[in-house]
Amino acid sequence: MIIRVRDTPREMNGDVAAAVADAAQAVIERSGRCSLLLSGGGTPRGTYELLAARHRARMDWTHIHLFWGDERFVPHGDPRSNYRMAREALLDHVPCPPANVHPIPTALPSADAAARRYEDTLRAHFPEDRPAFDVALLGLGDDGHTASIFPGSPAVEEADRWVIGVATTAEPSLRVTLTMPALTAAAHLFVLVSGARKASALRHALDPASDPMRYPAAALQSAAGRVVGGPIARPLRIQVRDDNSRFTAITMWSAVKPYSRITTGPGADAPKRSMPMIVPSRPT
C-alpha cells in the first residue's frame, strides 16, 4: 500500500481522470471494449468534468459502456439522481452512443423491481459469474458507506444477487445498489474520498480489523488480493491529506480476473504477499 498526498480535490480528480482514461484505452486496445462503472454523489463530479474536458479526444467512447454503482430511487431528471449528475458532467460532453449508456432504471413500481431489472441488464452484458467491470469508480461516505451499502444494511452480507433495492437512513431513503460481490469484481477500482469529515471513515475502511457491518467500505479490501497466475497487477494506492482543516484522498487498486485469493503486501514481484505496507510520500 502506498500513501501519497494531493493538496486539492482538483488535483485528485485530475489524477483519477488521467488514470481512468489510461486504463480504459488499454482495455479497448486489448479486448475491443471497456465497461466503466460510475459513482454518484458530489466527489466524482470533478473527475467526470475532467474526463470530458481533457480526455474526450483520446478515449474511444464508441467502445465504452457506462454503468452505475448505485442510484437514488428518483426519476432520472431529479436533481438528486446519480444518472443526472453524470449526464450533466460527462455524458452531455462526450460522444458515447446512447446504446452504450446503461443507467439504473427508476421508472418501475419499486426499488426491488428496478434492482432485478438492472441485474438482468448486467447479466446480459457480462457472461462471467460476476459483473467484471474493467474500470470502476466508487466513493466513501463519512459513515463508511460505499455505493448505497450503508452500515447495518443486509446489503453488506449479500452474496448471491448483484443488485438489490435498499431502504437507507439517507435522503432519499430508497436506493438501488450493486452488492459487494459485484463491486469487488472490477479489474481497476478507484475509490475517491474528499473532505475532513471522511478522514475517520477512510482509516476504518483501510483497517483489516474493521467490521464491514459498521464500515461497509472495509469490505472493498477484498478486491486488492485477487490475482491470476501471479502477483497483483498494481499495488493499492492511496492519496491522503489530513491537516485537521482539509482532507483529500484517492484510493486505487487493481484486481486481475479470474479470482484466486492471496494476501497482499510488500514486494510487487513476489509470488506470495503478506499484509499491506504503508509508505508515506511525505510526513503527515
- How does residue 269 score in pLDDT terms, banded at 50, 70 and 90? very low
Picking from 209, 206, 151, 147, the residue whose alpha carbon sits closest to that of residue 181 is 147
Grid coordinates of 106: 427508476
pLDDT of 200-241, one tens digit each? 888 888 888 999 999 999 998 766 443 222 222 233 344 444
pLDDT of 42-55, one tens digit each? 889 999 999 999 99
Q: Give the chain's mean pLDDT.
A: 80
Answer yes or no: pTM beyond 0.85. Answer: no
Going from N- to C-terminal start, the domains of the chain cover: 2-280
Give yes or no for residue 247 having a pLDDT over 60.
Answer: no
The CA distance from 14 to 260, in Å, is 32
Residue 127's SS3 state is coil
pLDDT at position 244: 39
Give yes or no for residue 31 having a pLDDT over 80.
Answer: yes
Grid coordinates of 198: 471522511
Give yes or no for residue 184 having a pLDDT over 70.
Answer: yes
- How does residue 166 score in pLDDT terms, banded at 50, 70 and 90? very high
Picking from 68, 133, 71, 61, the residue whose alpha carbon sits closest to that of residue 98 is 61
The CA distance from 276 to 262, in Å, is 12
Please name the fold of domain 2-280. Answer: Rossmann fold (3.40.50)
pLDDT at position 189: 86
pLDDT of 114-153, one tens digit each? 999 999 999 999 988 889 999 999 999 999 999 999 999 9
Rounded mean pLDDT, 68-88: 98
pLDDT at position 274: 24
Provide, rounded to the nearest whole percent, the portion of the chain with pLDDT above 90. Answer: 59
pLDDT at position 236: 39
Residue 204 makes CB contacts below 8 A (sequence gap 6+) with 144, 210, 214, 215, 217, 218
Instruction: Decide if 257 contacts 233 (C-beta within 8 A).
Output: no
